[in-house]
Structure 1
Amino acid sequence: MNAVEIEAAISDLALQPFDAAEFPFAFLGAFGNKDTALKRLRAGNNNTSDVHGGVLLRNSIHIAVCEAGAVGKTLQALRASPATVKAKAKFILATDGQTLEAEELGSGETIAGAFPDFPNHFGFLLPLAGISTIKEIKDNPIDVRATGRLNKLYVELLRENPDWAKDERRADMNHFMARLIFCFFAEDTDIFNGEVLFTRTVDQFSDRDGSNTHEILEAIFRAMNTKIADRAAEGFRPWADQFPYVNGGLFSGSTEVPRFTRMARTYLLHAGNLNWQQINPDIFGSMIQAVADDEERGSLGMHYTSVPNILKVLNPLFLDELRAQLDAAGDNKVKLLNLRKRLARIRVFDPACGSGNFLVIAYKKMREIEAEINRRRGESHLGSEIPLTNFRGIELRDFPAEIARLALIIAEFQCDVLYRGQKDALAEFLPLDAQNWIVCGNALRLDWLSICPPTGTDVRLLADDLFGAPFNHVEIDFENEGGETYLCGNPPYKGSQGQTDDQKADLQAVFSKHTKNWKSLDYVSGWFMKAADYGTVNDAATAFVSTNSICQGRQVATLWPLIHGTGHEISFAHTSFKWANLASHNAGVTVAVVGISSRPAALRRIFSVADDGSVVVRETSHINAYLTPGANVVVEAQPEPLGKLSAMSFGSMPNDGGHLLLNVQEAETAIRVHGVNANFIRPFLGSEEFIRGKERRCIWVRDDDLALATDNDWLAQRFDGVRRQRAASGRETTNALAGQPHRFGEVRQTGNETALIVPSVSSESRTFLPVGLLPRGSIVSNLAFALYDAPLWNMALIASRLHLVWIGTVCGKMKTDFRYSNTLGWNTFPVPLLTEQNKADLTACAEDILLAREAHFPATIADLYDPETMPENLRYAHERNDEVLERIYIGRRFKNDTERLEKLFDLYTKMTTAAAKTKPAAKMKRVKKA
């Protein structure tokens, strides 16, 4: 479930007659708990509550329904309950059907109030659905409620008006929804100069069956598109004539409205009865944009961008500098005036703006600074000099583009009310300005300079006015001479494997003039490249949210030399963090914020999350493409380890058509029934077998034993199957292997070695890379890597946090999982020269890890390395391993992963430089620099 669905469910629950016996289960169901789990709780099998009338859901909540007037006493009992502690409940809740009280046990934060009002606190309770609490929603749930009401209305209208769901009418439908949103907001903020004028008019003058609702709305919309002086000739009814003239493109053009049903009219009135004065344009756009998207409606409300995350982009991009200038100005009126003039000439451009979140936040923060300037100068009465047209965007879909402009209009009005007062704000609000700088189109195909041209120039722009008539080559006279331009946003992430043909073509259009090697790049790379190209013509700084994959693995070598080639460098970065949304139990995507500029500051900042969760800020003279301090080094695959480490290779590949591979039962039958020598049947492990504990076997016959093996008819038949499969292949190399059908297609071990096995792919949720030691005789498949007869201290290196951070950076990831590479991850791993004592200490650490695992036999690697249930002795063994290794590197534990990477890249640069000096020139391995 998502936040919108949860809010709707608990709102419905609050309206139903209170049922003391059923309430706890209905409440839990509203937060997405499955019927099977609730059935077990009802039966009492899993209900371990020790409070009268209590229901206890482990790791979630302890609820109790009590007698009238006993809510406070019952909540105290829940708090003191041993069962609450034992079940690790995060919340407690008590109600008598008249009042309700709840407490989040971790923070001690509480809610209390009348029972019918508890849905107002649904944001407080969202963690029950696995959704991280978002402050804006926790404090003010109106945005989620409005989204839910409008979604129901939208779906009902499309059901009744199927023609409006077709491509040729969908834009009209979306435009109609934007008009409704404006009306709801306007009637609750005195813009319509009357209490709930819009909703009351519809309620009073439309029939209850909804049959004439469209006529009422059409008349209202026509009135708001007609100047007061021209209305006499139109003959408006008095109830329509009381609406003000709005225009600004919002009500121009067709005023046709879809037909309403009784239910659609009810949904409209329910939406209007919300208090839209509390709408927060910071987040409302993200909540509402999925309403008009068939593919996204199922995940309604998920695409939420929190203000703190937006500020991770905007603050270091330019807001921090503005605030610093404000602090430096103090009360100096000249300096304050200069800063105000600077604010008026700053343009913020989001070329993937969606519903305008970044633009709205940028506008509000700049108005905040401007208001403080006016306060210090004694000019708080002045209007704003920051024009909305300086906040520009591109959005592919029409409805989010409309909402973006509407959100900016609402933000402007709210700022005027806040800083100038309601009277002045209302006096200047209507009619709306017809200018529109939110362009609907494909950002990777449009010319950004035509939308946000160099400052101080006259340009001609042909773009659609999303609220009405088109701009027909309107000449724009800019007043931004000497102004600044900042590009920001959260472009789409699509990886190379998930891109459509059209998206591939978009990237080709962007990169074709730079390189032919672009097909492996993420879709977001197109925005970075276009921003860099844009910055060569119009001096601008850029910061985008991106999947961290563009700063990892092989994409680094493809993308970043091109960006550096335009004269841009990384000016700041926020290293990997979770960008969670409002979906239930959603882990979110791992992202980074990357800022680029052709004129970065002398000191650049790297923001990162420390191991204890705090944010660490590092200042450095350079930031490389891996988002660590240092020069623009690109890590290249190496044929052998840089340091004195054991060689790592793929395991052996059967290429056998399945004839050399067996399950356990087949292997036992071969030995017991068919008389196969047990030495010819070996354990066979790849990544899946090692991690999940799956048992497989393989036939392993060395050349010396071939005659003995072929004496066995069962083995001879298996070899014949291999021969026929290889001979029938269309590949010559496979045909050549038909002459040795007893052997794997690729053999990388004798079969008598010990092996350190390293999975080729491992879940990102694991804190440590699950390397293991296999006994002699085990065969490693080509779906894993192996070090044969390697000293055990190698395992300590691979199992370390240092190595996990390294491979996560230089190898990249498959989806969100770690993707290992021996040539790029292991062979490049920089390890200082180890003494014999160092090796002995690391060997002991590896042995401790193995012993800790053995103590929990038969638990699998997947079981043992689940971060939620990892045994404490195993966790301690790994922590000890990290401490020993990191002290070898720097004499102490690293503070966080950024510091780990900084040391690793520094050591890598030194080692590759030293290695290059010792090799002949023809064989020199160069370190690429962008």
Structure 2
Amino acid sequence: MTPAQFIQKWTNNDLNERAGAQLHFADLCELLGVEKPYDPENYCFERGASKTSGGEGWADVWKRDHFAWENKKPGRDLKAALKQLTDYALNLDNPPLLIVCDRESIEIHTAFTGYPHEVHRIRLQDLLDEKPRQILRWVFTEPEKLRPIKSTAAITEEAAGKFGDIAEAMRARDLPATEVAHFLIQCLFCMFAEDEGLLPRKLFTTLLEKNLAKPERVTDRLTALFKAMQKGGDYGDDEIRWFNGGLFKNIAIPALNSDDVFRLHQAALLDWRAIDPTIFGTLFERGLDPKKRSQLGAHYTDRASIMRIINPVIVEPLAAQWQSTRSDIAEQLAKSKKHNDAAYKKAQKTFQHYLEMLRNFRVLDPACGSGNFLFLALKALKDLEHRANIEAADLGLQRQVGIEVSPANVLGLELDPYAAELARVTVWIGEIQWMQANGYPLNERPLLKPLDHIQNTDALIDLDGKATAWPACDAIVGNPPFLGGSKKSGELGRAYFDALNRLYDAQVPGGADLVCYWFHKAREQIAAGQCLRAGLVSTQSIRNGSNRKVLDAIVADAPIFNAWSDEPWVNEGAAVRVSLVCFGIEPTVGWVERSDTHHQIDAAMGIAPAGLHPSYACLDGQPVARINADLTVGGDESSCDLTLAKPLAENAGVAFQGPEKNGAFDITGTQAREWLKQPNPHAQPNSLVLKPRLNGQDVTSRYTDGWIIDFGCHLSQDEAALFELPFAFVEMHVKPERDKNKDKNRKKYWWRFGRTGEDMRIAIKDLPRYIASPETAKHRTFVWLNGAILPDKKLIVIARADDTTFGIVHSRLHEVWSLAQGSIHGDGVEGGRPRYTPTTTFATFPFPAGLTPADTIHGTVSDGELVLPKLSEQYPKAAIQHARAIAAAAARLNTLRENWLNPPEWVTRIPEVVAGFPDRIIPKPEHAAALKKRTLTNLYNERPSWLARAHEKLDLAVAQAYGWDDYTPVMSDEEILRRLLVLNLARSHG
């Protein structure tokens, strides 16, 4: 069929709608040279004709992953046809193109996720040209070619960037930042309202365009416009709708110049209908808040990440409740004999009860930022109501005319005034976009409902110095602020820090991360019956240490039913790793048997797959019996709840954190060696207060020849002053800073370290060497340090000198335990570094019987090349044999490793200027470059075969000391942990 023939046949064709629809489509296929519908599962007429209520299908023509097509007779309302396709898009697998046609014209509406809506209109006469015909061929063959060029995210980023530039230029003239931000938020809403048709066409853009060189007139015009939007009324010849909502309550336009007007005009030319509410607030907050300006262009949290909390806390239980309600309705309608009889009325009432429940459902974000969680929660509720409306109509009920879920359903608390106002605008814009896209009427009189329930307030401490009362709600979601426990006082101020401790000390440890307070308050809300469920984002460290006390309480009162233990996230523009934790009253409504279509709908909405009952917990996307407080699997025989592990008495007083200097006590090796040669007035050598110093980086990389001035724990100022040169250095470089220190002891004893580590010093005093491990490192490695070396606070010291203890802690068994029990330090995009502590990791580890730290003593005995613990003669012979086997494997590992790190052929060992200090290791010039690459980190990154085999032999020797004759390298970490936990519990309760 030629274009002319097609046009002639279908011009003024009088076939009725039903008779002409399929014939018109078939002719169009012939014209374009594409296949006609042939496959009921992928490409067919009348898709969904077998729907519950019978009758016509959801679409006249449907092609999977391509389009849904609705044909109408000429003169019919294409908007209504588009509304039908929009209503049933979920049932149709969300095709990227929605097409409506009345034979005289074809409208192609793009519906690509994450891209703006575009419309291609092709009239009948246009088909004479090749270009429109090619667009139609793409509909059938390559719909991706119709995807808009810019995504909604890209458009939003561009708009935020332009506003950021305007804000920065205005603030540079010393205009108040809050005044600038409020004005620009009003402007951006006007730009959106103009493009959405809520203001007269191009009114705002034209106002700016006509007055580019007259900023004073722009000020007058905008003042008049904002006043008209405030209450509704006339603006020139145009009638302005009543917007209200509070956005235009305060009108204070800052002094504008021509450049401001030009930049605003350029921003107004963008397509503001396409901005993405899921990232809108975050990006604009960065531009408008001078403290966050540097984050423009940085990452932002995507929709899918946020939905990992919204889905289990809000969508899944409410969707499950609808499926139960839907089954009840179907059962009631099956008893109905005629419309409006008792059974029908009961079904209609059941439907109304579900809608009323949605209308009254409240979601609170107590750290709402600029509103992305609130918008997605609101959208989820509106989607659920929309879906219920459609499915109720399919069942034969009278559907609700409008949509009643509204911004009143979302509540927020936010301390930052910029963010709080943007959160309100985010919700307004998202609401308007959703209603427009789904064909529902907007609010009138006023168009914007006030959002006073998104409050600019502190979520933890109110103005009266009391704990902030959170409003009652059904669900709590959000991304509370991340701030490590050690940084709280400095960042928040001492008064606020002290108030937190006063109000929450009984429930939240003072050293806990700031985010823990939100978890605690959410648990309190649930326990008080003021909330059903909560889902919050936290740093990974919430699983361990003092933070875990909060999760322990949650597990006891409000079980964790969904969690992601280690996920990528974006916080303040930085890519980090986090834990997502959902807890509270578990949903009790199960998943009913579903059709394939409904499973597809669920998948499109991100709802849990069929077969997963909400009463099962879900960890990292997998159903589990229970989730422990450290976000591991619990509740079955194979699970292992390490939160039950306790510190063991036999491990006490052995592991320590190195001293913390709190001042500039460091000196170079060159300086130290010069001072070591110098005499003192009291004839004592400087070697008593000058020591080589190693930190975590020195262990994992290479020693940088750092030394430190150490006046110990008890030297008085007069005694310290007799070490003339070291004391003068400390007096010059440390004292000025200590004089400002708020800690009285550190200020008084300024010549000593802030934390001297006396307990550690006593423990290693008589040891020729001791074991050390970096507090945080990619690989859990242990090394020997000479007893004369002073460890930094970033090293964990184990006060033992025997190869047996070294071998046990360097075995896979101890590594697995330390990784499971330790916390994660840092939250970088590649994940934080495992953290080793004397308390959670060492103190709880059950050593083999007879070889615990209580069984070894500081004194050592040589046994050939081995250094064995001095064990009592009464110990079983087997324990001594195991000690020798472990020691031999450990000594071999250490020798091989040292030979790789410092090959004798590549280095020269030079005795230190003072006896007793370890030799200096100097690279030979020809090997210096290669030696730099020989680090523990690089070695364990590569893990060559010889290293792996040496560790396997050590692991086997340690496992045999436990009596695990079945141990092999393939034994799972979970089994190792389970066995060790049994030992820990037996000893801690023994």
**1:914, 1:543 → 2: CA distance?**
35
Contact residue 653 and residue 745 of structure 1 kept, 8 A: no
1:549 maps to 2:541: yes
Contact residue 635 and residue 810 of structure 1 kept, 8 A: no
Check 1:425–1:503 CA distance in 2 against 1; reply closer, same or farther (3 A cut). farther
| Deviation larger for 348-357 or 817-826 | 817-826
Q: Deviations over 1:465-522 (max 9, x none)?
A: xxxxxxxxxxxxxxxxxxxx00011111222332358666556656646645742222
1:573 maps to 2:573: no
Partner of 2:416: 397
**2:724, 2:678 → 1: CA distance?**
19
Check 1:431–1:913 CA distance in 2 against 1; reply closer, same or farther (3 A cut). closer
1:440 maps to 2:456: yes
Pairing of 1:586-605 with structure 2 (within 5 A): 586=574, 588-597=575-584, 605=617
Superposed displacement of residue 391, structure 1: 0.7
Superposed displacement of residue 340, structure 1: 4.2
Check 1:823–1:868 CA distance in 2 against 1; reply closer, same or farther (3 A cut). closer
1:488 maps to 2:484: no
Aligned residue pairs: how many? 687
**1:678, 1:596 → 2: CA distance?**
59
**1:214, 1:698 → 2: CA distance?**
64
1:781 maps to 2:771: no
Superposed displacement of residue 361, structure 1: 0.9
Check 1:372–1:805 CA distance in 2 against 1; reply closer, same or farther (3 A cut). farther
- Of residues 523, 527, 546, the one that matches 2:514 is 523
**1:853, 1:533 → 2: CA distance?**
54
1:350 maps to 2:362: no
Superposed displacement of residue 534, structure 1: 1.9
- Of residues 203, 217, 223, the one that matches 1:212 is 217
Partner of 2:843: 827
Partner of 2:983: 911
Q: Deviations over 1:326-369 (max 9, x none)?
A: 56677765587665444333211101101111111112123223
- Of residues 803, 806, 821, the one that matches 2:818 is 806
- Of residues 658, 669, 683, the one that matches 1:663 is 669
Partner of 2:236: 237
Partner of 2:181: 174
Pairing of 1:314-325 with structure 2 (within 5 A): 314-325=310-321
1:497 maps to 2:486: yes
1:694 maps to 2:709: no
AA matched with 1:199 = T
Contact residue 655 and residue 842 of structure 2 kept, 8 A: yes
AA matched with 1:442 = D
Partner of 2:251: 255
Check 1:362–1:768 CA distance in 2 against 1; reply closer, same or farther (3 A cut). same
Check 1:268–1:698 CA distance in 2 against 1; reply closer, same or farther (3 A cut). closer
Check 1:257–1:599 CA distance in 2 against 1; reply closer, same or farther (3 A cut). same
| Deviation larger for 211-220 or 495-504 | 495-504
**1:787, 1:156 → 2: CA distance?**
60
**1:569, 1:449 → 2: CA distance?**
24
Check 1:276–1:653 CA distance in 2 against 1; reply closer, same or farther (3 A cut). closer
**1:307, 1:398 → 2: CA distance?**
24
Contact residue 413 and residue 425 of structure 1 kept, 8 A: no
Pairing of 1:760-909 with structure 2 (within 5 A): 761-762=775-776, 766-774=777-785, 779=789, 781=791, 783=793, 784=795, 785-786=797-798, 788-791=800-803, 794-795=806-807, 797-798=809-810, 800=812, 803=815, 806=818, 809-810=821-822, 813=825, 819-830=835-846, 836=882, 853-854=901-902, 872-874=942-944, 877=947, 881=951, 900=973, 906-907=978-979, 909=981
Partner of 2:205: 199
Partner of 2:243: 246
**1:801, 1:201 → 2: CA distance?**
73
Percent identity over paired residues: 21
Superposed displacement of residue 224, structure 1: 1.9
AA matched with 1:311 = M
Partner of 2:626: 621
What are structure 1's unaligned runs of at least 5 residues? Answer: 1-134, 455-484, 609-615, 701-715, 738-742, 919-930
Check 1:329–1:137 CA distance in 2 against 1; reply closer, same or farther (3 A cut). farther
**2:274, 2:157 → 1: CA distance?**
12
Q: Secondary structure at the match of 1:412?
A: helix
**1:411, 1:657 → 2: CA distance?**
54
Q: Secondary structure at the match of 2:216?
A: coil
**1:655, 1:414 → 2: CA distance?**
55
Partner of 2:304: 308
AA matched with 1:282 = T
Partner of 2:278: 282
Contact residue 637 and residue 824 of structure 1 kept, 8 A: yes
Contact residue 226 and residue 251 of structure 2 kept, 8 A: yes
**2:982, 2:791 → 1: CA distance?**
35
Q: Secondary structure at the match of 1:247?
A: coil
**1:136, 1:818 → 2: CA distance?**
43
**1:749, 1:418 → 2: CA distance?**
71
Contact residue 574 and residue 593 of structure 1 kept, 8 A: yes
Partner of 1:34: none
Q: Deviations over 1:798-824 (max 9, x none)?
A: 475973773574466489665533343
**1:730, 1:505 → 2: CA distance?**
21
**2:664, 2:262 → 1: CA distance?**
64
**1:443, 1:341 → 2: CA distance?**
29
Superposed displacement of residue 202, structure 1: 2.3
**1:156, 1:794 → 2: CA distance?**
62
Which structure has the larger Rg over C-alpha atoms? 2
Check 1:871–1:527 CA distance in 2 against 1; reply closer, same or farther (3 A cut). closer
AA matched with 1:416 = M
**1:399, 1:811 → 2: CA distance?**
34
**1:450, 1:666 → 2: CA distance?**
59
| Deviation larger for 857-866 or 599-608 | 857-866
AA matched with 2:388 = I
Superposed displacement of residue 574, structure 1: 1.7
**1:448, 1:658 → 2: CA distance?**
42
Partner of 1:367: 382
Contact residue 151 and residue 291 of structure 1 kept, 8 A: yes
Check 1:605–1:806 CA distance in 2 against 1; reply closer, same or farther (3 A cut). farther
Contact residue 893 and residue 951 of structure 2 kept, 8 A: yes
Contact residue 796 and residue 881 of structure 1 kept, 8 A: no
Superposed displacement of residue 176, structure 1: 2.2
Check 1:872–1:497 CA distance in 2 against 1; reply closer, same or farther (3 A cut). closer
Contact residue 822 and residue 835 of structure 2 kept, 8 A: no
Q: Secondary structure at the match of 2:373?
A: helix
Q: Deviations over 1:832-873 (max 9, x none)?
A: 779958887777666665565457986899956697997534
Contact residue 689 and residue 696 of structure 1 kept, 8 A: no
Superposed displacement of residue 444, structure 1: 1.1
**2:172, 2:357 → 1: CA distance?**
51
Superposed displacement of residue 531, structure 1: 1.7
Q: Provide the TM-score with structure 2 as the length reference.
A: 0.59
Q: Deviations over 1:389-428 (max 9, x none)?
A: 11110111222212212211221222222222xxx43585
AA matched with 1:296 = K
Check 1:427–1:626 CA distance in 2 against 1; reply closer, same or farther (3 A cut). closer
What are structure 2's unaligned runs of at least 5 residues? Answer: 1-147, 331-346, 589-613, 635-639, 711-720, 736-743, 753-757, 852-878, 907-926
Contact residue 653 and residue 746 of structure 1 kept, 8 A: no
AA matched with 2:160 = T
Check 1:773–1:385 CA distance in 2 against 1; reply closer, same or farther (3 A cut). same
- Of residues 218, 222, 228, the one that matches 1:223 is 228
